[in-house]
Copies of this chain bind each other. A is one copy, B any other.
Amino acid sequence: MSDRLQLVFIGTGASIPSPRRRLCCLAVERDGEWLLCDCGEGTQFHLSRNSISPGKIQHIFISHLHGDHIFGLPGLLATMQMLERSQPLTLWGPPELATYIHWLQKHELLTLGYPLVIEQLPLGAVEQRQAGPFAVTSAPLSHRIPCLGYRLQEKEKPGIFDAPKAEKLAIPFGSERKQLQNGKAIVLADGRKVEPAELVGAPRPGRSIVFCTDTRPCIAGRGLAQDCDVLIHDSTFGPADKNRARQTGHSTSTEAAKLARLAGAKQLVLWHISGRYTPEEEEAMTKRAAAIFPAVLLPQDDLNLQVPRRMVQ
């Protein structure tokens, strides 16, 4: 089993597709299993362009029911059916998501043979659930309509086993070593007692991805992002358009950088970028954000980001 956690930025644009940016979708892979955050129109084509098979997607998290975040969902669900999917798929989102999907099913716009589980998340409270390898926290953000932010938190991993030292202490291969790795002390045949701390390093913390779009900078978003590895945050506008950001329930790149700094995130990804900006303007936005929070990235569509596990001293 590999320890890979990667993000593929399928669609990084806002509202209207532009020649440079598609509609909203983030794909997350952990050890061959995929999940999506949002599913703008065209997602199924762009997954295929990134060699991400719909059959490998286990979970889809939906932030809110604006078209640029969900109009790719019915087509993707239908394609999974036509590819003869049999394993379950879980959709996560606001209660209206279930209403929408059930309506499409009732009117035979969607006819699915595989189990579709819809997990309705509350709009007024922080909620914790388990989704595959991730503990998921959802929280209500601050947008024009009800909208959820998500934190995907990997479990911690046991510390590294010091094999050379185990050799030196003549600890046999097999159950003894396994017990130590599982945190249990052992007594060897010669009577020596060995504690796990002698051979096993500190547990390695799980990684965390936080997806906060569409939203004003808000307390709930900051709470989700606390000490996370990667924060993907609404950055629809540049700092000069901050009034427009406020009016439309979005954030500027500068506001996203300030929130990332306050939350102690390790990496910020500027997200949901308006099609109005030129590449030069995007570069200027990124530089201004970097003055506040240096580990900032404004990705192009299809960019791939590997999330390393943090080293423990």
Query: Which residues of A are at the interface with B, using a C-beta cutoff of 8 A?
Result: 15-17, 19, 22-23, 41-42, 44-45, 48, 65-68, 70-72, 74-75, 78-79, 82-83, 96, 99-100, 103, 107-110, 145
Contacts and interface: CB of A to CB of B under 8 A. Distances in A.
A17 B82 CA distance: 11
B78 A145 contact: no
Contacts of A72: 41
A41 B107 contact: no
A67 B103 contact: no
Contacts of A107: 65, 96, 99-100
A40 to B, nearest CB: 8
11 contacts: A16-B79, A16-B83, A17-B48, A22-B45, A41-B42, A41-B44, A41-B45, A41-B75, A65-B108, A70-B109, A99-B107
Contact of A17 (B22, B45, B70, B108): B45
A64 B110 CA distance: 13
Contacts of A82: 15-16
A75 to B, nearest CB: 4
A15 B41 CA distance: 16
Interface centre among A41, A45, A83 (most CB of B within 10 A): A41
Across chains A and B, which 4 residue pairs bring their CB atoms closest together, nearest first?
A41-B75, A71-B75, A67-B78, A42-B42
A237 to B, nearest CB: 15
A72 B23 CA distance: 13
A89 to B, nearest CB: 16
A144 B220 CA distance: 48
A83 B83 CA distance: 36
Contacts of A67: 74-75, 78, 109-110
